[in-house]
Amino acid sequence: MAIAAKHNLELKQYDVTNAFVHASLDREVYMRMPKGYQKPGTILRIKKALYGLRISPLLWQKDLTATLTQLGFQIVPHEPCCMIKDGIIIFYYVDDIILAYGKDQSKKAQEAMDQLKQRYSITGGDDLQWFLGIEVIRDRSKQLIHLSQVAYYEKINRLVDDQTIRHDTPMATSELMPREGLATPSEINRYQRKIGSLLYAAVNTRPDIAFATSRLARFLANPSQEHQQAADRVLLYLSDTKWLTLRLGGGTAMQVASDASFADNTLDRKSSQGYAIKLFGGLIAWRSSKQDTVTTSTTEAELLALSQVAKEAIFTSRLISELKVKLPSPTITIQCDNQQTIRLVTQAVSRLTTKLRHVDIHNHWLRQEVTNQRIKVVYTKSSEMIADGLTKVLPVNQWTGFLIQLGLVEVRDREPHNQSPVVEIQAQLEQLSCG
C-alpha cells in the first residue's frame, strides 16, 4: 500500500469463486455419503481440495502460484503470496487478489487477469475499497492512502461491559497486577474475545493501542475485573477515535526507530521493547512486546530492541528491493535514544561489560551490520522518538504528538469509498508540548 501511494499505482481487487476446489488433491481422501443420498456399501473419493480439509489451503496456494508462474510471474522470495512481472504486482490472501500496476501498464495488467480468468472463476475488477475488513481510502491528488476500520470498531464496541469509562488515552499509567483467585470460564471467554478483537486493530491500522493491547494480553488465562475494565477502556477509546486512519504516503525514504523501557515489568523485571518502520512517510510495521530475557542495564535492553528492529528492517529492505522499488540509500538509518548503545555499535573502542552471552552476541552482530554499512544508528531525543509510545504509557499532554508521529489522521464526513478531504491534526503540532 505504501508503494502504491508513493508511485500512484492503480489498485484493483478480485475474488476467486470457490477457490479451493480449483486445486486437485495430491493424495487419496475418502468421505461418507452425504445425508439424503445413500448407496449401501460405497464411499466417495474426493478429487478436489474441498473446504474443510486441512490440506486444501496449501493446495490452493500451490495451484495459484503455479498458474501465475506459467503466465510469467515470479515469486517474491520474502513474500510467497506476492508475485511480480514487468512491474505488475499480484498479491493474494486466500481467495482475495489485489492487482497493482502503473497507468502505463493497464493493457498488460488486463491481459494477465484475462489469462487468469481462463483458469479460475474470478469476479471483481473494481478499484480497491475493502481488504480483510479494512477500508482503503485514496487521495490521488496528494498520493496518499488511508486505512480505516470504522465499521469494525463499531462492531467490537458491543463487547464493552461499562460504557461510562471514557478517556483520551487507551491506558492508565498505573501498572496492572495479576488476579488473586481464579476467574470463571465465562469471564475468561469474554476477556479473550475483547483482547482478540483489539489485537486485530492493533496489528493492522491502530499502532496507538499496540502497547496497551500487549500489556492486557498477559492476563488472558486469569483476568480480573480490573483487567476487564482496562480492556473496556481501550475498546471505548477506539470507538471515540474511530475516524482516525493510518496514512500511507507523503514521504520519500525509509524511517526506522527502536526503543526499550528498562525493567518496567515489576513482577519479573523484564523490559518492554518496541519498534516502528515507516516507508515513504507511512507506518508499515510496528511492534510492542516484552523482552524474553531479563537484562541488567538500560543499555542491554536497548541493544536487544535495536537488534530486533535491525533484522526486521533488513528483511523489509530486501522485500522492497525484490518488488523493484528503489530507496534513496541502501543503508538503513535506525533512530535510538540511548547514547551508550549507539557508541557500543558504532565505535570500536567501546565495549559492553556483560556476562550475558546472548546480549553480547547481539552487540557484535549489530557492529557487523554497521561496519558492512547495512545499517546506521543515529541519536534521536525521546520526545521525537516514534517508538517511545510503544514501550510505555504516555501522559495525555504527549498523546496527540504521538498520534502525529504514527501518521494517524482523521478522515470523516465522507461518502463511502469516495475521495474526500482529509482532516489532519498536523496543525496542532506547533502548539503541542511533548515534554
| Structural domain includes residue 179 | yes
Q: What CATH number is associated with residue 263?
A: 3.30.420.10
Mean pLDDT of 344-352: 76
Domain identity same for 117 and 9: yes
Distance CA 130, CA 149 (A): 10
Domain identity same for 210 and 319: no
| 130: enclosing H helix or E strand | strand 130-131
Domain identity same for 368 and 416: no
Domain identity same for 270 and 378: yes
pLDDT digit string, tens, across residues 66-77: 999 999 999 999
| 354: enclosing H helix or E strand | none
Q: Which domain holds residue 119?
A: 2-128
**Bridge-partner residues for 147, per DSSP?**
136, 246
Q: How confident is the model at residue 14 (pLDDT cuts 50, 70, 90)?
A: very high
Domain identity same for 186 and 86: no
| Structural domain includes residue 22 | yes
In the block, which residue shows the cell 480480573? 224
Q: How confident is the model at residue 419 (pLDDT cuts 50, 70, 90)?
A: very low
Domain identity same for 241 and 261: no
Contact 428, 415 (CB under 8 A): no
| Structural domain includes residue 135 | no
Mean pLDDT of 314-338: 93
140 closest CA partner among 5, 42, 298, 326: 5
If one compares 429 and 141, the residue with the highest pLDDT of the two is: 141
Quote the number of domains for the chain: 3
Mean pLDDT of 150-169: 91
| Structural domain includes residue 395 | no
Average pLDDT, the chain: 90
If one compares 358 and 295, the residue with the highest pLDDT of the two is: 295
Look up residue 250 and give its three cell numbers.
Answer: 507523503
Domain identity same for 220 and 108: no
Domain identity same for 205 and 122: no
Mean pLDDT of 227-243: 96
pLDDT above 90 covers a percentage of the chain that reads 79
Look up residue 157 and give its three cell numbers.
Answer: 464496541
Q: Using the predicted structure, report yes or no on whether residue 371 has a pLDDT greater than 70.
A: yes
Q: Which residues contact 303 (CB under 8 A, 6 or more apart)?
A: 341, 344, 345, 352, 359, 362, 363, 366
pLDDT digit string, tens, across residues 350-369: 666 666 677 888 888 999 99
Domain end call among 128, 161, 191 = 128
Q: Using the predicted structure, report yes or no on whether residue 425 has a pLDDT greater than 60.
A: no
Q: Using the predicted structure, report yes or no on whether residue 4 has a pLDDT greater than 60.
A: yes
Distance CA 79, CA 68 (A): 15
171 closest CA partner among 245, 265, 225, 236: 236
pLDDT digit string, tens, across residues 119-130: 999 999 999 999
Domain identity same for 255 and 380: yes
Domain identity same for 38 and 121: yes
Domain identity same for 423 and 379: no
Q: What CATH number is associated with residue 96?
A: 3.30.70
110-119, 207-216, 293-302, 358-367: segment of lowest average pLDDT: 358-367
In the block, which residue shows the cell 504528538? 401
Q: Using the predicted structure, report yes or no on whether residue 169 has a pLDDT greater than 70.
A: yes
**What type of residue sits at position 172?**
A
Look up residue 4 and give its three cell numbers.
Answer: 502504491
39-48, 122-131, 307-316, 343-352: segment of lowest average pLDDT: 343-352
